[in-house]
Amino acid sequence: MISAVAEQYEIHPQTLRLYEREGLLAPSRSEGNTRLYTEDDLERLEVILHLTRDLGVNLAGVEIILNMREKMEAMQAQMEGFIGTLNRELSQRVSASNPRGTNSNSLMPVIQINSMAVRSERRVSSDSKKRRER
């Protein structure tokens, strides 16, 4: 409701109507044509008030800034989608080229060492060390 929001943010209801007329806010409407402000609308209003009150930006500047923010958010979502797709593709390629199930999280191919060979090598080196000590 416009009066509750105006009171909460200490602004005149006509200011909210102006923001709506300028296209800065777009609250939904009830069947009785009452303005219904969502959490997103209130967050947007807080940004508008910060820009106008604290930073002295005029309404034309606020419109530009809000449009730029929307474009940046859309670009961010696109980048996250691209990175997700890239990660899935890389995982598929690594698993396809490495069917033995070695470490698929590595960026470079990892050579698995046979643990039996390592144990026997350790045994040989410890035996030779013991012989040298005698």
Q: 2-38, pLDDT tens digit by residue?
A: 999 999 999 999 999 999 999 999 999 999 999 999 9
Flag whether 11 is in a domain.
yes
Flag whether 105 is in a domain.
no
Flag whether 53 is in a domain.
yes
| Confidence class for position 113, pLDDT limits 50, 70, 90 | low
- What is the spatial distance between Cα 76 and Cα 98, in angstroms, rounded to a whole number? 32
pLDDT above 70 (res 130): no
- Helix-strand-coil percent breakdown of the chain, rounded to 5? 65, 5, 30
- What is the spatial distance between Cα 43 and Cα 23, in angstroms, rounded to a whole number? 15
Flag whether 125 is in a domain.
no
What average pLDDT does range 43-49 have in this prediction?
97
What is the pLDDT at residue 115?
Answer: 53
CATH number at residue 34: 1.10.1660.10
What is the pLDDT at residue 95?
Answer: 77
What is the model's pTM? 0.64
Flag whether 121 is in a domain.
no
Per the DSSP assignment, residues forming a β-bridge with 29 are 35
Type of residue found at 54: D
- What is the spatial distance between Cα 17 and Cα 24, in angstroms, rounded to a whole number? 10
Tally of domains in the chain: 1
Flag whether 123 is in a domain.
no
Question: Where in the sequence is the domain holding 59, given as residue range(s)?
Answer: 2-97
Return the residue matching tokens 């309404």: 59
What is the pLDDT at residue 97?
Answer: 72
Q: 90-110, pLDDT tens digit by residue?
A: 888 877 776 655 555 666 665
Flag whether 106 is in a domain.
no
Flag whether 131 is in a domain.
no
